[in-house]
Amino acid sequence: MTAPSLSVADFIQASRHQLIIDVRAPIEFFKGHIPHAINIPLFDDLERAEVGTIFKQKGKEVAISRGKEIVSPKIEKFIEQVNQLSKNKQVFVYCFRGGMRSNSFAWLLNSVGLQAVVLNGGYKAFRNYVLNYFNQSFPLVLLGGKTGCGKTDILKQLAQQHIQTVDLECHAHHKGSAFGTINQKAQNPQQVFEHHVFWQMYWLKQTEPTLIEDESQTIGFNKIPFGLWQNMKAAPIIKIEVPFEARVHKLVEEYGNVEPEVLKKSVLKISQQLGTLNTKKCLEWIDNDCLHDVAKMALTYYDKTYEFNYHKKQQKMIALHCDDTNAVTNAQKVKQIFQTLSHHVG
């Protein structure tokens, strides 16, 4: 009951824009999966635990027999689901190690006229491939600047102009500060974050430089993969400099419609750094809708942290003075410097 299989590299290439099915249990899928894969589990979480216990206590054959009992009533539903999802009969299947679960599922699909292949080595092989991928050398240029200067907006503008960019904060669902979770989806588990960064970078031109925002290694509770982080620490930085008042206005514009209690929770996250008196002031300002004052206080704290961190950096920096946070205008300025730097880092 062995289906045709592909190596990780071939599986990634062949499955792009195709139907990818992860047949592992939901809890396995949640912790990490191939981007754009759909979870159609052979066993739910309780069934997986049951089969695993039987395997340990009574052996492989009894576990397989119980597994068949669980899966048999689901077969028609599996086939129906895949037929509805598949556009061209091509299906790419994986389980944890590329063993019985994925091969059984692929064999079933092939028996009813679909064209299913499995990932050789399964999710474990894909995971190792991703980790090894980040250990190579990447030509990068970092986009830096103090809080509120509009770096993310600039990245989006440049991405629309076909400049290679990676938005780590977008993949992390976090803006990297105490206010970073506001207006964001819940953060993904670490492996999901890493896989989404990998998936975006994998399809870029590896010989051409990529613009990426200068970040701490930790964004919320997601950590930038170590290999990529090492590359970032050696990359040149385009350091945007925007006047303080313009950045205050940007923050108020961004967070002005947020519920007061949400803002207060974010302020309390940095209360130790702000101090008791300043924290109290911020909470009162939020109650009185004096958000410009809150933004000024927050930026004063973040500016000090930013300057402290930047003094420790060793890489080349190019200062870019901007009058305001206009993303269109500033993106053109960044683009000119980026294209100049590209000749040296590409």
Q: Has residue 194 got a pLDDT over 90?
A: yes
Q: Has residue 183 got a pLDDT over 90?
A: no
Would you state the pLDDT for residue 256?
Answer: 86
Percent of the chain with pLDDT over 90: 86
Average pLDDT of span 174-189: 89
Residues 108 and 203: their CA atoms lie apart, in Å, by: 32
Q: Which residues contact 156 (CB under 8 A, 6 or more apart)?
A: 167, 327
Q: What is the mean pLDDT of the chain?
A: 94
**pLDDT tens digit string along 235-290?**
999 999 999 999 999 999 999 889 999 999 999 999 998 999 999 999 999 999 99
Residues 208 and 196: their CA atoms lie apart, in Å, by: 20
Average pLDDT of span 50-66: 92
Average pLDDT of span 183-206: 95
Task: Indicate the burial class of 34 (C-beta count within 10 angstroms; 0-12, 13-18, 19 or more).
Answer: buried
Determine the CATH number of domain 137-345. Answer: 3.40.50
Q: Which of 275, 308, 281, 314 is nearest to 295 (CA)?
A: 281
Would you state the pLDDT for residue 142?
Answer: 97
Residues 160 and 164: their CA atoms lie apart, in Å, by: 10
In the chain, the amino acid numbered 346 is G
In DSSP terms, 223 is beta-bridged to 218
Transcribe 5-69 into DSSP letters: EE-HHHHHHHHTTSEEEE-S-HHHHHH---TT-EE--SS-HHHHHHHHHHHHHH-HHHHHHHHHH
Count the residues in the chain: 346
Q: Where are the domains of the chain?
A: 5-131, 137-345
Percent of the chain with pLDDT over 70: 99
Q: Has residue 345 got a pLDDT over 80?
A: no
Would you state the pLDDT for residue 4?
Answer: 93
In DSSP terms, 237 is beta-bridged to 142, 317
Would you state the pLDDT for residue 346?
Answer: 59
Q: Which of 58, 205, 230, 23 is nearest to 137 (CA)?
A: 230
Q: Is position 322 annotated as part of the catalytic site?
A: no
Residues 346 and 343: their CA atoms lie apart, in Å, by: 6
**pLDDT tens digit string along 86-140?**
989 999 999 999 999 999 999 999 999 999 999 999 999 999 999 999 999 999 9
174: its two tokens: 């976090």
Contact 110, 307 (CB under 8 A): no
Banded model confidence at residue 177, pLDDT cuts 50, 70, 90: confident
Q: Has residue 178 got a pLDDT over 90?
A: no
Please state which of the four CATH numbers 3.10.150.10, 3.40.50.11900, 3.40.250.10, 3.40.50.150 is assigned to the domain occupying 5-131: 3.40.250.10
Would you state the pLDDT for residue 1?
Answer: 66
* Secondary structure of residue 225 in the 3-state scheme: coil
In DSSP terms, 92 is beta-bridged to 20, 117
Would you state the pLDDT for residue 48?
Answer: 93
Average pLDDT of span 296-300: 93
If you search the block for the tokens 């590329």, which residue do you land on? 98
